[in-house]
Amino acid sequence: MRIRTPLALVVVLALAAGCSGGGDQAAPTAAGPSSAAAASASPTPTPTPAVVVDGADAALTAAVAKVYAGKTGVEATATLGTWMKEKVAVVTSGDDVTLAVGPQWKVVGGWWPSLGKGTDLGRFPRFMLVMGSDARGSNLKGSRTDTLQIVGLDGRGGAGIVGIPRDLYVPLSTGGTSKINAAFAYGGGSAEARTIENLSGIDLQGYVVTGFNGFRSIVDESGGVPLVIEKAFTFLDLLKVKKGRQVADGGTALAYARERHAFPNGDFDRSRHQQEILIAGGVAARLAGPAILPKEMSIVSKYAQTDVDAETALTFLAAFYRIDPAKVKHTVVPGAIGTSSDGQSIVKVTPATRAVFAGFRDARL
């Protein structure tokens, strides 16, 4: 749903009427108009603003006006939100999109076909780590990650998602060797990101992570996510998930993202399903248009943790509106099933594992 915040415009006109005073009224002379004629003269018209932005305050309007310097008659609409307590705005005018962050409003990117300008969304390729923690509550400290997905954008219309099995056995940035999802338990999101950077050779712009309850709330408050679930299953002997096309609520989406025993490839199928949820959410947002971004960012902010600032998050998410859906692919890195020295079931890194990461360094698959 598109959210519009009305902009209150107050125009104050000061009208001054001068007339001769004191003593008897003199007759008008040929040298000047009578006081009655002066009083009936029309006031100077108030100039029409070059740029009017519905939903914006004066500071945001001024920032947008700089983009359209020299052009008049621009009418636009702003949608506002927050990202980790930082203000964000998407301003649309026809096919033009202007992205800004506050509190001292600054334009950070966008695209403006009406001005003959191309897209400005930063440097590419760009990569973000999206994680789902197995924490049940809002406190993620000490938990492990069930979901590890690298989302990449190449800046030329292409994008990809690479999933990482949580049991991949690797050197951790915190020291020692263990399952890759243990890095989060030992050192939080930054430790997990560094571990994945060391393994993949991919430079991450940051990470976003949420727990089970947070993920469920994000999906529910966004109105559900459209999915095609490939097989019916019962999650944890409690929730029956039906097969086929549906708008999944938070509980159903979480079950699909977590279930592995009902599918032949276990954790690899689970990672693939997580990618399907990410793509489905992206498609729904794309259909709604870029004006939906501030609302969705505000929802995620309530339930996620991140080291990504508002400018990076806003321009990264807006870049999804500039991709060609035919150029979006996803995969899960392969590995060899094995056993660690202490008897854990693990996924071993192989040349095929490293080949996927190497091929993804341009953000395309």
What number is the average pLDDT over the span 305-322?
97
Q: Is the predicted pLDDT of residue 1 greater than 70, yes or no?
A: no
Which range has the worst mean pLDDT, 35-49, 137-151, 193-207? 35-49
Share of the chain above pLDDT 90, in %: 79
Cis link prior to 351 (omega < 30° from 0)?
no
Residue 3: pLDDT over 50: no
Q: 289 by DSSP, 3-state: which?
A: coil
What are the tens digits of pLDDT across the range 185-215? 999 999 999 999 999 999 999 999 999 999 9
Cα–Cα nearest to 208, from 316, 120, 56 = 316
- Average pLDDT value for the chain: 88
Which of the four pLDDT bands, split at 50, 70 and 90, describes residue 24? very low
| N-terminal to C-terminal alpha carbon distance within the chain | 33
Q: Average pLDDT in the 270-295 region?
A: 92
Q: Is-contact 219 256, C-beta < 8 A? A: no
Burial 3-22 (b: 16+ CB within 10 A, else e): eeeebeeeeeeeeeeeeeee
| % helix, strand, coil for the chain, step of 5 | 30, 30, 40
Quick one: pLDDT at residue 259? 94
DSSP-derived 3-state class of residue 232: coil
What backbone torsions phi and psi does residue 156 show, to the nearest 5 degrees? -125, 25
Report how many helices (DSSP H) and strands (DSSP E) the chain contains, helices first. Answer: 9, 20
For residue 237, the model assigns a pLDDT of: 87
pLDDT in tens, 325-337: 889 999 999 999 9
The pLDDT value recorded for residue 36 is: 46
Give the residue, 36 or 297, on which the prediction is more confident.
297
Q: Is the predicted pLDDT of residue 10 greater than 80, yes or no?
A: no
- pLDDT value of residue 45: 55
Contact present, 147 and 132 (Cβ < 8 Å)? yes
Using 50, 70 and 90 to split pLDDT, how confident is the model at 39? Answer: very low
Question: Cα separation of 291 and 327, whole Å?
Answer: 23
Lowest mean pLDDT of 8-12, 145-149, 182-186, 230-234, name the range: 8-12
Does the pLDDT at position 13 exceed 60?
no
User: Could you report the per-residue pLDDT of 98-134, keeping only the tens digit for each?
Assistant: 999 999 999 999 999 999 999 999 999 999 999 999 9
The confidence score (pLDDT) of residue 349 equals 98
Whether the per-residue pLDDT at 159 is higher than 60: the answer is yes
Average pLDDT over residues 274-295: 91
Q: Which has the higher per-residue pLDDT, 30 or 249?
A: 249
